[in-house]
Structure 1
């Protein structure tokens, strides 16, 4: 029996440890792809042009591509956990994952900065529908630049596998790796960057929240009811805060694990601990599925448009089915008439 057959046999034996993370990713993919597609349709067709809509639409596009492209890869590298031989595939998709992380981060910081200027500095120069495209392009290019080391450094992690008297080397496309000093520096840099972005978001929204609280108190003291613009501003801020909080919490385990990569032997973990580790390594995936639910929870207009969209799709499908059935009935009647005439 050659080494490849031994690796395949060991991989098949160990796959039961990965069933939980595989199911976790499959469920998120099944929910995330249609969920983000619905956001793309509704925000493009039903919302008027604004800075908020532009950023949310780009964020939804990022999440949709993440669910469509990287979920199948993540599932595949779990199924072929010890038999992942294609280094270029590993590099390509992990680079794509880090790009989506960076780009999403920059979009959220842009949204927070936009809300900060609107609420706290309304008379100063603002992000507008005319210049927001430059913020989007800048976010994209910065994400590409920060992503370059991932493409260079991502390895296939080699692990020694034993099965009875057989010993072979397994090849893993690892989420967390520290194969050299450069990888350690890059992982540390990514963790620092994540901490910096999370801190910026936290500080900006604390300032925004305090300002809106003071404005609300002032309206109450002067007996002024909140205007439609005030209610809209409050709703957008709640959505932005929640999206940012989910982003920070879902990515936190990934960057913590990147820091401690190599500190313990994963093969010595029991089945439950190993499965939990692989889910925590991919906790970031939840961030790219959660946003449609956040919009639906806070935005009544989004919920209404979702219902309209579903009813439109259902009615269109029903109409097409009825038309097809009617055509079949007409065809059958013609065939019956022709047979009778003959």
Structure 2
């Protein structure tokens, strides 16, 4: 069975390269984001408060997805540990649910700032409470997978032959035989999918309302050549410069768009597996494409640091300063070495 796993890993080498590079970029990029936002950048009005938190989630997501998928590539037919399978499944799904709930909290904060500027905004205590509740709710939803998931010995068809192996499964029906357990697991998985769909729809609606509000506000403000009236500009300037606020709104909206684009292929392949699509019978090239699509959600984790770099001038300045100091230190060290 080990030889078959090696053959499978050889077929999926492009997928292994993809997940390794994406995971490494996600880990390194988000570590840089965490360090700079928590140590070098001041957050006067809460616009950046959730960025390092989201970076922590992206970093953990990169780690768990990389380990889970590499284990799946190299030990597909002879998975070595039931406990490892359970905890990797739990960790990956936890970060997968916590990330969109955090994006929802950010969207609500942006909506209140743009569309309800005269009402009470998110205080520091409120931000901390929403993060705690998001972690708690996500953990409660995903905790059953410490029970549902695990390794099971079953027979599958691979390249035209029936193969009996030990597989890591999100829903391990062999632990609790019977249709009842299987139905409970599928219903729970379906509930999570519906919750994610509801969150994504809400995100789209909130940012659509923000876009409509900003469009109307800029129509009222007029062009740069026309004088601005203080009464009309006040709602946009109350929490800072309107251009900066607009860039933050665009930044968070783009993060949501990238999340949706990266999440959809993973969700579709997962659904197809549970409705009975036998992807292991696909030709090698199609199988590689399937695996990459199934793991495409990791793209979201390493793209976010690039989005922060493009939209946040303070982050670019801090990153540039660190790079400049490092280069100066390296040049100084080279000059001190006698020729």
TM-score scaled by length of structure 1: 0.85
1:191 to 182, 190, 193: 193
Q: Which position in structure 1 is the counterpart of 2:227?
A: 223
Q: Which position in structure 2 is the counterpart of 1:241?
A: 253
Q: Which position in structure 2 is the counterpart of 1:306?
A: 319
Count matched residues: 318
SS in structure 1 at match of 2:277: coil
2:64, 2:335 → 1: CA distance? Answer: 36
Indicate conservation of the 8 Å contact 2:152/2:172, yes or no. Answer: no
SS in structure 2 at match of 1:171: strand
Equivalences for residues 272-311 of structure 1 within 5 A: 272-311=285-324
Offset from partner CA, 1:42-97 (integer Å, 9 cap, x none): 21123223433221110001112222344133212211121113111011011001
Is 1:208 aligned with 2:203?
A: no
1:144 to 139, 155, 161: 139
**How many angstroms does 1:151 deviate by?**
1.6
Structure 1 gap ranges (5+): 1-6, 330-342
Equivalences for residues 110-125 of structure 1 within 5 A: 110-125=105-120
Distance 1:81-1:123 versus aligned 2 partners, 3 A rule: same
Q: Which position in structure 2 is the counterpart of 1:32?
A: 26
Q: Which position in structure 1 is the counterpart of 2:60?
A: 65
Choose 101-110 or 261-270, whichever is displaced more: 261-270
1:283, 1:207 → 2: CA distance? Answer: 29
SS in structure 1 at match of 2:150: coil
Distance 1:290-1:163 versus aligned 2 partners, 3 A rule: closer
2:91, 2:133 → 1: CA distance? Answer: 18
The structure with more helix, counted as a fraction of residues: 1
Distance 1:162-1:255 versus aligned 2 partners, 3 A rule: closer
Choose 86-95 or 179-188, whichever is displaced more: 179-188
Q: Which position in structure 1 is the counterpart of 2:176?
A: none
2:244 to 216, 232, 241: 232
SS in structure 2 at match of 1:185: helix
SS in structure 1 at match of 2:84: helix
1:101, 1:70 → 2: CA distance? Answer: 10
**How many angstroms does 1:157 deviate by?**
5.1
Choose 246-255 or 90-99, whichever is displaced more: 246-255
TM-score scaled by length of structure 2: 0.86
2:169, 2:283 → 1: CA distance? Answer: 19
Choose 209-218 or 13-22, whichever is displaced more: 13-22
**How many angstroms does 1:161 deviate by?**
5.9
Indicate conservation of the 8 Å contact 1:178/1:184, yes or no. Answer: no
SS in structure 2 at match of 1:247: helix
Q: Which position in structure 1 is the counterpart of 2:89?
A: 94
Q: Which position in structure 2 is the counterpart of 1:252?
A: 264
**How many angstroms does 1:170 deviate by?**
1.3
Choose 7-16 or 91-100, whichever is displaced more: 7-16
1:152, 1:75 → 2: CA distance? Answer: 22
2:75, 2:246 → 1: CA distance? Answer: 47
1:110, 1:141 → 2: CA distance? Answer: 14
